[in-house]
Every structure is written in structure tokens, then in C-alpha cells.
Amino acid sequence: TQLLEQSPQFLSIQEGENLTVYCNSSSVFSSLQWYRQEPGEGPVLLVTVVTGGEVKKLKRLTFQFGDARKDSSLHITAAQPGDTGLYLCAGVPGGYNKLIFGAGTRLAVHP
């Protein structure tokens, strides 16, 4: 069974701080996606990383895919209250179209 473990589960920080969220697995994924989910809403896709070692930037968010395609990280610089939400990583197993989600990291950024 392929699993994705996210850490930390909860993160409460002040506006302006930096943070990193980790997504780890013992399995290889053909690609990995990061989503953000607000209360009462469905997840919204932020980025897809495909190549081992790939780094993608989305404004203050930096996403990295591990060299072995088993892990990923999300780094947020100078967090803002608008970054508050549930961050989910999701892996795509090779040969399948389903997504395997981690349990998520709940981020709260206080003004």
C-alpha cells in the first residue's frame, strides 16, 4: 500500500515567518501534486512536479520534488494570513490515474 506522510500536522505561525511542509513516502510516484483546501471547499491545485529534483516557484511558495521521486516539500516565505488553509500533497502512482493523498498540514497564519 502506497502512503504519503505529511508533517507537521498543524502549524500556527505569525505573519512574516517562513515555514516548510514535508511530504514523505517509501514509494516512488510518477508525479506529485500540492493542493490547498479551505473549509467547506474542495481542494484547489497549486502545482504539479514531475521530474526528480524539480523545483517550482509560485510567488512566495517553493515546491521541490525529491531526487528519487519519493518525497516533496513546500516552503512558504513571509507567510500571510491569506495563506491559512489545509495543504495536501497527492502522489500519482505509476500506471494509475488515481491520487493518493497525505493527511494534510493545517496552517494558521496570525496577523
Partner 1 sequence: ETGVTQSPTHLIKTRGQQVTLRCSSQSGHNTVSWYQQALGQGPQFIFQYYREEENGRGNFPPRFSGLQFPNYSSELNVNALELDDSALYLCASSPTGGTEAFFGQGTRLTVV
- Applying CB under 8 A, which residues contact partner 1? 4, 6, 30-31, 33, 35, 40-45, 48, 88, 90, 92, 96-104
- Name which of 43 and 66 has its Cβ closer to partner 1: 43
Q: Which is nearer to partner 1, 8 or 16 (CB)?
A: 8
Q: Which is nearer to partner 1, 42 or 82 (CB)?
A: 42
Least separation, in Å, of the C-beta of 111 and partner 1? 25
Least distance CB 83 / partner 1 (angstroms)? 19
Radius of gyration of the chain (CA): 13
**Cα angle: 84, vertex 88, 94; to 5 degrees:** 160
Three-point CA angle 38, 44, 45, nearest 5°: 145
Looking at the Cβ atoms of 35 and 63, the one nearer to partner 1 is 35
Residue 32 in 3-state DSSP?
A: strand
C-beta separation of 69 from 30 below 8 A: yes
